[in-house]
Each structure stands twice: as C-alpha cells, then as structure tokens.
Homo-oligomer: A and B are copies of this chain.
Amino acid sequence: MKIIKDVKEMFLTSQKEILNNKKIGFVPTMGALHDGHLSLIRQSKKDNDITIVSIFVNPTQFGPNEDFNKYPRTIEQDIELLEKENVDYLFLPNTKDMYSEGFETYVNLEKLPNHLCGLKRPGHFRGVATIVLKLFNIVRPHKSYFGQKDYQQYLIIKRMAEDLNCFVDIVMMPIVRESDGLAMSSRNRYLNQEQRKNATILFESLQLAKNEIKNGETNPKIIIEKMKNLILNKYLKAKIDYIEIVDLNTLEELHTIKESCLIALAVFIGEARLIDNIIINKNEKC
C-alpha cells in the first residue's frame, strides 16, 4: 500500500490509474477503523481494479461543542488493517492542505440536512458534503462506499453527487454489528464497561420497532413511545437525542407507516452520541 499525503500527488496518481483504464473504488473515512469500514473496503476491492482509502478527521463537520479534538486517532493500527486488506493507496492529507488559507467555499444542500442528525448538528452536513466533494475531485473515483449507519449522510452524498455531476456511483453497505447488536462505530471507544453493556439499547429498541410493525402497528408515535420507554427503562442514564420514523428518500416524518420507512435514532450514552437505524421494507425480509 502506498501512502500519499500530498493532495496534488493523490490527484495525479489517481489520474494515472484512470488513464490506464483502471476502475477506482474509494472509501473516505475519518480513521479509527473497524469492521464496518472494512466491509466497505472489501466491497470496493471486489468491484474495482484499484481501491483508495482516505483518512481525514474533517474539522468542518464538527460543531464547536463536539468531539473533534478527542475523536479517536489510531493511525498506526489503521495502516496495519489497510495493509492486510491490500488497499492500493491510503490518502492521508493534512488539514492545512485541505483547508488552505482563505478557504471559503462550501457545499450546501437545502432539504435533506433539515432532518434527523442535521437538525441536531447544525453545519455538520455542510462539512460532510464539502469534504466529500473535495475528495471526489481529488480521487475522481468510479464508485464510492458509505455505511448505512450514517444513512442520512449516504442520502446526502448520493444527492450531492447527482446534483453536482460527480459521475460516481454511491454504494451503501449494511450496518456491521457487534455480536450483541451494537452497531460498529469509532465512537464506541468512548464507552466505559457499564456504558458499553447498556449501549445495546439502541439496537434493542430498533428490534422492538421492527416487531411492532411486523405485528401490524402503523402509527409512528406509538412505536416511538415504546422505543423511548424501552431505552429509559433499561438504562435511565441514556439521553435520547431523537427517535424518528421517516420516509426513506426525503427523510420527512411519516404519519403512517405504509410500504417502507427508516427508523433512526441518536442516543447519548455518557459522552458518546451513538446513532443507529433500520430500514423497513414490508415487502422484503430485512
């Protein structure tokens, strides 16, 4: 695996591969890699000739009171993992090259960020859309891979890539979970033993919702109420940021559950703000 830190070198390297008719798969990450990331990388390896992974903890997607400074940085372990996966290139830019002096250009979406995490984290998706567009312009991949755990992010990137003519296929991969159901996340590292044990309440509440729907419940309010009760009954210290049942494409709140929906939630377990979700398709197994 070749590690590239220079922005222009990354661009020229990727261009050279493209000129050699190679298909480029790209997995942008903030590092602290786990099996969720690895599932994206493995899919990219399957689908493409060349796989490029980036690690960049992007300051513009963190709010002023968020965890930018303490976000886990485990670069040596990350490199080892990527070597094992036979990744072709690791792009490892630094902040002052990605946001050079006088930087003032941002990518904004007008609708999709006004839901779920976007409401709770103002400016977050502006930062995400901006950095991903920049990375797309540097790497110019044919396909790029995102995890379902950040479903809103996936939808926003997909919309942005289409709206701004990025000519990249945005591929979403399923959530990878620990054996007890907890969705893998770099932020799980923030949890102490007690918190880690109780962090399963996110997944359990989603399973409850799924069962409710399976049993014919179509009223989101009733389902959300039961999810809240489960979470707080099991772990009183949990702080629910939001629980919502929304349209899969627009993220607008549903009044009745019909064919399909996204059930999404964010819960503080101690300092860690954890998110999880489940896609319901009544016509499919899921």
* Interface residues in chain A, defined as those with a beta carbon under 8 Å from any beta carbon in chain B: 7-8, 11, 18-19, 21, 100, 102-112, 129-130, 133-134, 137-138, 159-160, 162-167
Q: Which of B108, B137, B159 contacts A108 (CB 8 A)?
A: B108
The distance from the CB of A19 to the nearest CB of chain B, in whole angstroms, is 6
The distance from the CB of A282 to the nearest CB of chain B, in whole angstroms, is 24
Specify which chain B residues have a CB less than 8 angstroms from the CB of A165 in the assembled complex. 7, 11, 134, 137-138
Specify which chain B residues have a CB less than 8 angstroms from the CB of A163 in the assembled complex. 100, 103-105, 134
Given A19-B19, A162-B100; A108-B105 close (CB under 8 Å): yes
Closest to A111 in B: B104
Q: Which of A18, A100, A167 counts the most chain B CB atoms within 10 A?
A: A167
Specify which chain B residues have a CB less than 8 angstroms from the CB of A137 in the assembled complex. 137, 164-167
Closest to A135 in B: B165
Interface pair A110/B102, CB less than 8 Å apart: no
Closest to A162 in B: B100
Specify which chain B residues have a CB less than 8 angstroms from the CB of A129 in the assembled complex. 105
Closest to A106 in B: B108
Specify which chain B residues have a CB less than 8 angstroms from the CB of A110 in the assembled complex. 104-106
14 A-B pairs with C-beta separation under 8 A: A18-B19, A19-B21, A103-B163, A104-B163, A105-B107, A105-B110, A105-B129, A106-B109, A106-B110, A107-B107, A134-B164, A137-B137, A137-B167, A138-B165
Interface pair A109/B104, CB less than 8 Å apart: yes
Q: Which of A19, A133, A165, A167 counts the most chain B CB atoms within 10 A?
A: A165
Closest to A97 in B: B165
Interface pair A104/B100, CB less than 8 Å apart: no
Closest to A139 in B: B165
Q: Which of A108, A129, A134 counts the most chain B CB atoms within 10 A?
A: A108
